[in-house]
């Protein structure tokens, strides 16, 4: 059965300050962001009717827009209120929330100083990003040929649409090769992240994770680091080379969509779905559902 298309659903989308029927929330074909990647966005999850770390996500949305060179035409409180109101209007308890801001269509070309900045928010019910059976036994990751760019070649601190082009290409290639996702290295050949999630490794009871100096320091990533340290686990953020994966015992992804998802293999390297990974999965689920 085909998935329900995202442009043909019942409900409401908050768009430029108004609640618009879902099917009527449209933009023009000459919208600058469609052609030049000038959109900033967030991905958030609601658990038990409450969006986890909503304010932190909204702060990052505004930072991303600033990095892209424009100002969000609404206050943070207005964005937060609209996210919460959409949950109520849809009567959703567990849901995914997607705020996005973008450059409009007044100018078409590289320059876009006169373009109106638009904002919209949509919510929908979205189960785990990865299939439940794959999560339980650990995902299989390919290793991408595409690398995360250097911070002096792209705005790597922004959650911006253009930065995800190579992630889509990579995810499609992984799917075609029978994998669940792919690991991306950075411009130096160091381990970076998956296509939409940060990565952790476990060795001798300690966690190792790449330093986020050319990719997003994810909100879920920071949350899991706090949970691990609360358990008395040592967490080391450092440069990690691909060949080091041979010595790691466990590996897992973190992200708003992925939550905490174990890995069983990355290319030629194999990992167990071990106790530390399982504990952090449980701790994260408990935290988000407790309103923490």
Give the number of other Cβ atoms within 10 Å of residue 186's Cβ: 21
**CB proximity list for 99: less than 8 A, separation 6 or greater:** 41, 42, 44, 57, 58, 61, 79, 83, 119, 120, 121
C-beta of residue 144 within 8 angstroms of C-beta of residue 182: yes
- Give the integer Cα–Cα distance in Å for 182 and 160: 20
Q: What is the pLDDT along the chain (292 residues), one digit of tens a residue?
A: 457 899 999 999 999 999 999 999 999 999 999 999 999 999 999 999 999 999 999 999 999 999 999 999 999 999 999 999 999 999 999 999 999 999 999 999 999 999 999 999 999 998 766 666 667 789 999 999 999 999 999 999 999 999 999 999 999 999 999 999 999 999 999 999 999 999 999 999 999 999 999 999 999 999 999 999 999 999 999 999 999 999 999 999 999 999 999 999 999 999 999 999 999 999 999 999 997 6
CA distance 211 to 198: 10
Q: What is the CATH number of domain 132-289?
A: 3.20.10.10
- Cβ neighbours around 179 below 10 Å, total: 19
Domain boundaries, the chain: 12-124, 132-289
Active-site choice (89, 159, 171, 203): 159
Looking at the chain, how many residues does it have? 292
**Out of 1.10.1040.50, 3.30.70.260, 3.30.470.10, 3.20.140.10, which CATH number does the structure's domain 12-124 have?**
3.30.470.10
Q: Could you confirm whether 159 is annotated as catalytic?
A: yes
Q: What Cα–Cα distance (Å) separates residue 242 from each residue in 19, 78, 144, 188?
A: 47, 44, 12, 11
Residue 56 vs residues 77, 116, 122, 164, 199: alpha-carbon distances, Å: 12, 25, 18, 21, 20
The residues that bridge with 147 in the sheet, in sequence order, are: 185
The Cα–Cα gap between 197 and 194 comes to 5
């Amino acid at each position: 059965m085909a998935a329900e298309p995202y442009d043909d659903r019942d409900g409401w989308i908050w768009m430029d300050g108004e609640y618009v029927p879902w099917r009527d929330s449209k933009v023009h074909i000459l919208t600058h962001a469609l052609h030049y990647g000038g959109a900033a966005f967030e991905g958030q999850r609601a658990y038990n009717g409450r969006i986890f770390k909503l304010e932190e996500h909204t702060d990052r949305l505004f930072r991303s827009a600033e990095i892209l060179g424009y100002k969000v035409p609404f206050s943070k409180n207005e964005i937060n209120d609209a996210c919460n109101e959409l949950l109520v209007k849809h009567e959703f308890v567990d849901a995914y929330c997607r705020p996005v801001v973008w450059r409009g269509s007044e100018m078409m070309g590289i320059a876009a100083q006169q373009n109106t900045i638009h904002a919209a928010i949509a919510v929908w019910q979205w189960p785990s990003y990865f299939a439940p059976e794959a999560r339980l036994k650990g995902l299989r990751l390919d290793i991408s040929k595409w690398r995360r760019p250097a911070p002096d070649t792209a705005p790597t601190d922004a959650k911006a649409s253009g930065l995800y082009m190579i992630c889509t290409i990579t995810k499609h290639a992984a799917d075609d090769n029978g994998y669940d996702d792919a690991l991306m290295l950075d411009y130096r050949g160091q381990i970076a992240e998956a296509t939409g999630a940060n990565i952790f490794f476990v060795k001798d009871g300690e966690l190792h994770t790449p330093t986020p100096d050319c990719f997003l320091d994810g909100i879920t990533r920071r949350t899991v680091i706090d949970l691990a340290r609360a358990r008395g686990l040592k967490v080391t953020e450092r440069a990690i080379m691909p060949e080091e994966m041979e010595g790691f015992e466990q590996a897992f992804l973190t992200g708003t969509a992925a939550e905490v998802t174990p890995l069983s293999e990355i290319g030629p390297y194999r990992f167990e779905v071990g106790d530390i990974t399982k504990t952090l999965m449980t701790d994260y689920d408990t935290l988000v559902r407790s309103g923490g």
